[in-house]
Every structure is written in C-alpha cells, then in structure tokens.
Amino acid sequence: MRYTTHAQAAFFSLSPPPALVLSLLWGGARACALIIPKSQGRPRKCSKAVPCRQSGSGSLLVAPSPAANLSGKNSGSAAPVLPVAHPGDRSVAALEPLKDVHVGLAPPCQDPGRLALLSGHYLYYHYGCDGLDDRGWGCGYRTLQTLCSWPQGQSSGVPGLAAVQAALEDMGDKTSGFRDSRSWIGCVEASLCLQHFGGPQGRLRHVPRGTGLWDELKHLYSHFAGGGGPVMVGGDADAQSKALLGVCTGPEAYVLVLDPHYWGTPKNPSELQDAGWVSWRKVSTVFDSNSFYNLCLTSRT
C-alpha cells in the first residue's frame, strides 16, 4: 500500500486489532487514512465554552481550574456568550509564553515505581496567549504550538493559528473555507503540521477506548525515558486536547497533564501549578472510558 502522508505512514506502521476497519478521515479529497473503529465517527468538536470568572482585578476573565471542569461544577453562573473570533483577529493583549511550567511539581506519590518526564524544554500556549480569543475551539492549536516549541523552548518557528489553517488547506487536508474559521484540529492535523513546519517528528497512536490507555502507559514511559517530548492527546467524547509531559506508576498510575484551556495572564509557573493547569492526574479519572483517543508523540528524530 502506498502512503501519501506522514500521518498515514505512522498509523499503518502500527498493528491494529482485527476489530478495526479502514476509514477515511474528513477534510477533503486527500484526507488522511486512519485505522479507526467502525463504531466511531468523527471526533466531536471541542465546542463547550470554558466558564469564566472575574479575577481579583475585575478586568480579566480567568477560567476556573481544571478540577472544577472535570467535576462539572462551577460557580453556578452560565457560560458567557463568546464573541465571534477568527484566527486573524486580536481581541486581547498578546503574552510571552511561560517556559517549562511543570518544573517544581512534586511526584504524585511518595514511592513511585517508575517515573519519567519529557526531555528538553517547551513553552506553555493556552487560550488567548497571542491576543486571539479562541475559547471553545482553540485547544488543539494551542497544544500543537506547545509541541512546536519543543525541544528548545523557543517561540521562533511556532506557527500562529491562521498559519496552521492555511497550511492544512494548502496541503489538501482541509477543504476551501477552512481558513479564518473556528474549526477544531486534533492529533492527525497536528502531526501533519509538525512535518509541514519543520518541527519535531510526530508519531501517531490510536486507542479505541479510554480504558485502553492503561496499556499505553508502558509506551509512554519508554517514550519519555527515551528522551521524547510532549504528547498531544485528544478524543471524541473527550474532545478537549491536552498535552502529557510525564508518566508515573506505583500504587496508582498518573500522567502529568498540561491543560491549554487556561484563559488569563499567568505570572509564574507556581500560579498554574496551584490552580491545576499543569498537574499530575490519575489515569482512572482524567480519561473518558467511552471515548477513543489519538496520541501524537514528539521526538527529535
């Protein structure tokens, strides 16, 4: 079989279970072919607007902590109606991304059996960090930007959201009209963009159900222990993209999660750590057992 894209070659290098069937992903005549379960359709859009609360200054909207999002609890106020923002718009002030925001976090348990963290350096990209209000649709782009900043932890060479959309349309992965839209992207698009923009290599893995991520822990450990970079994760029922920065196994299994859904102006990594935007989370609670997941693992070669 001839593979026409990097993503195709990466996926067909895996050994999928017999229950999986070949299906074409959406997005144009040259969309990437993936092995996905017959029962699975296109991953749903990350369309839920992150509820926001006023900060102490009274002038900045700050998203609640990830713990509140996971529990489904908030202050009781309805989510705000977001303005229509496009990748070329600038509705808030641009920020200088913080670097290596996980540094200083303690291990999740006292006696970890095995613990491995990413090598190299990265920048934390999140909602609104470049002046664009992309709440509700930009988490995949922000996670991709974090991947592109690795391993030097530099912003040079990191594409903006408009450049990502233009590239995907130009390479034929998306149809005309994708530019200047608020359409989401996932791990497959991220792997294509890593290759297009000359970033780190992106290797794709597919997990049919969230429960299968337990079996991925050994691969994640080998990845991080072997010098690998951040891992992008996204699914269908769980459509919120995020990055994994490490894995820890012991009495329980944990992954170190970097959440791009933060909206605000972080002053330092400690602020993000205290609020849980970068934190160790139990594998048993952070992933949806009913969702399939794609992973994009970055490496230097």
Catalytic residue among 173, 236, 238, 259: 259
Residue whose C-alpha is closest to residue 34's, from 227, 186, 156: 186
Say how far apart CA 143 and CA 285 lie, in whole Å.
21
How many residues are listed for the chain in this entry? 301
Checking phi first, is residue 76 left (phi over 0); if not, alpha (psi -120 to 50) or beta?
A: left
SS3 labels along 218-282: HHHHHHHHCCCCCEEEEECCCCCCEEEEEEEECCCEEEEEECCCCCCCCCCHHHHHHHCCEEEEE
Our answer to whether residue 236 is catalytic in this structure is no
Largest CA distance in the chain: 59
Instruction: Please enumerate in sequence order all residues whose Cβ is within 8 A of that of 246, keeping only pairs 6 or more positions apart, or say none.
Output: 102, 115, 116, 117, 118, 224, 255, 256
Catalytic residue among 46, 139, 187, 296: 139
Q: Which residues are catalytic?
A: 139, 259, 261
